[in-house]
Structure 1
Amino acid sequence: MSVTRASAPLAAQVAPQAITATGLRKSYGDKIVLDGIDLSVPQGTVFALLGPNGAGKTTVVKILSTLISPGPGSGEIRVGGHDLATDAQAIRATIGVTGQFSAVDGLITGEENMLLMADLHHLPRREGRRVAAELLERFDLVEAAKKPASTYSGGMKRRLDIAMTLVGSPRIIFLDEPTTGLDPRSRHTMWGIIRGLVADGVTVFLTTQYLEEADELADRIAVLNNGTIAAEGTAEQLKRLVPGGHVKLRFTAPDAYRSAASVLTGAAPDDESLSLSIPSDGTQRELRSILDWLDSAGIEADELTVHTPDLDDVFFALTASATVPAQADQPKENLR
């Protein structure tokens, strides 16, 4: 009986995959854009694809959304449970795409843009009007609905763009740099919209130039560089791939500070602030080791803070050289 109880939760932990791709390739003439990348995106999550300009992020989105064909030699690609090679039409019925450039028609009103999308999805007239009205309200566009879209701000156009994408109730949405050019307030509004979509069970495949955006939103992040995935993992896992992390101990008692500095090898002292910086990757194991050491030495620190590299550091390291490990899932050994 105990075996049966243990096996059920394990099975439940295996999340269905919204997107999978193996050996994805694409070239334009002699230019290799994608050199056999693998992707796996669980349902109901945000997956962020980062990379420098020209790395191939938009090419990945176009392939997965059936806008262009993968290159020869690509492996199996499945989106929404459908095989891209044999059932592209079913994929199109499952997804929504918001590209880098707005699809909004500025010559007609926001409401007319919504109704046009409803017609393209072959919704009955009454149903189309209902869906359009609900989405305009959801995206706070009711007051502007009767105005030409050309009069909208950048943030309003982006909200309308995503609202139009949702007319067909897609379960997977591709957002290709959706906040480029938006002011900070509009960007944060967009983040709230994306979080709301995921809360409703929608899968979001996001490309972005804003590393803070990936840090805030993504369940997993992949960094694309030179046609390959340079690293993939959670934001915290990726941050631990690059050096520079440290634990800072601050003391108010000078005696405690001097005692710690005299015996803790490798720590960088700061006499002015009575603090010590200890190289660390910030893992639970290392923090426990530091706390155990303080207890055994009878030294009490007044403050302990963990400082880890941010995604900017990770991005620069991964896209500047190939010296950083490609997998972030495995914990690093304690090297102190």
Structure 2
Amino acid sequence: MPDTGDGNPAKPAGRVTEVPAVRCTDVHQRFGDTVAVDGLNLEVRPGEVFGLLGPNGAGKTTTIRMITTLLPAPPSSIAVFGVDAGKRRTAVRRLLGYVPQQLSADGTLTGRENVSLFARLYDVPRRERAARVAEVLEAVDLTEVANRPAKTYSGGMVRRLELAQALVSAPRLLVLDEPTVGLDPVARDGVWARIEQIKAETGMTVLVTTHLMQEADQRCDRVALMHRGRVRALGSPVELRAGLGPDATLDDVFRAYTGDGLAEASEDGSMRQVRSARRTARRVS
């Protein structure tokens, strides 16, 4: 049987092989003497909500930054819908939308102006921009306040605005890094309601990092638990909980696989990411 070029035999003619939304193959990344990602192997299926969990310093944010091309990935180590993130960074960026931990909306601009700016950054064709901006603002329920400065928005509204910014390019992959940090339960549910509605309508894939185990349990089809740069557990929340017993929670799974890895040091050996996340929480609260 012929080889496909990735070490796997080709499928018989007539069978369609589904390309993973994200494929990480033996990914390594280090910052000086600190190993952030240590031989990571991971696949995200098209159309699923996939959670990447783990303590601070586990390698989650570094992995997300390589997938989104904010950090260079070694060639042939990360692919997004089959596109090599190490070799074709611009092509990968056209496939995804990204909501980072840190606030990305400009408070001095209106909601509409913020989304329009991202439409230009994502190269949305000029003739389509106004309609696309209006469409995503409606999708996240911000049409009525679209002409108000973003600094007048509540925390939940700001997060929905950032979701609109990420969605304006109609991405196949939506990457969310701690999307509900600092939000109260009502605002958190509102953000997820919009994500799930848009996912149902478009079939997009969602990759999310979160420290909220209940959020991961309720929202994710599958989760991967990272610790010290590697995936230690992978499966649906139900499967992972069942592995520890009938009364286990996802918090129990987290503790079982991370042990003493709950240190607050970030992946580059500093406290910058922790401080940044706390500033974000204060700003959206």
TM range (shorter): 0.7 to 0.9
**2:46 maps to 1:49:** no
Find 2:23's aligned residue among 10, 17, 20: 20
Structure showing greater relative contact order (alpha-carbon pairs closer than 8 Å, 6 or more residues apart): 2
The equivalent of 2:252 in structure 1 is 313
The equivalent of 1:183 in structure 2 is 184
Structure 1: distance between partners of 2:30 and 2:242: 33
Higher mean displacement: 98-107 or 75-84: 75-84
Find 1:62's aligned residue among 55, 62, 65: 65
Q: Deviations over 1:109-136 (max 9, x none)?
A: 0011111122223334442111111111
Closer/same/farther in 2, CA of residues 127 and 75 from structure 1, 3 Å limit: closer
Closer/same/farther in 2, CA of residues 134 and 28 from structure 1, 3 Å limit: same
Other structure's SS at 1:36 match: strand
Which structure 1 segments of 5+ residues have no match? 1-7, 246-306, 323-336
TM-score (normalised: structure 1):
0.70
Structure 2: distance between partners of 1:125 and 1:15: 33
> What is the letter of the counterpart of residue 211 of structure 1?
M
The equivalent of 2:267 in structure 1 is none
Q: Percent identity over the alignment?
A: 42
Q: Is the 8 A contact 2:139 2:198 kept in 1?
A: no
Other structure's SS at 2:104 match: coil
Other structure's SS at 1:309 match: coil
Superposition map of 1:1-336 within 5 A: 15-70=18-73, 76-199=77-200, 200-242=202-244, 245=245, 307-320=246-259
Which structure 2 segments of 5+ residues have no match? 1-11, 262-285
Closer/same/farther in 2, CA of residues 155 and 136 from structure 1, 3 Å limit: same
TM-score (normalised: structure 2):
0.82
> What is the letter of the counterpart of residue 134 of structure 1?
E
The equivalent of 2:265 in structure 1 is none
Q: Is the 8 A contact 1:24 1:75 kept in 2?
A: no
Count of residue correspondences = 249
Q: Deviations over 1:63-106 (max 9, x none)?
A: 011100236xx862111220122212110111111100121000
Any runs of at least 4 consecutive aligned residues in structure 1 with deviations exceeding 3 A, and if so which? 122-126
- Residue 320 of structure 1 deviates from its aligned partner by 0.6
> What is the letter of the counterpart of residue 236 of structure 2?
T
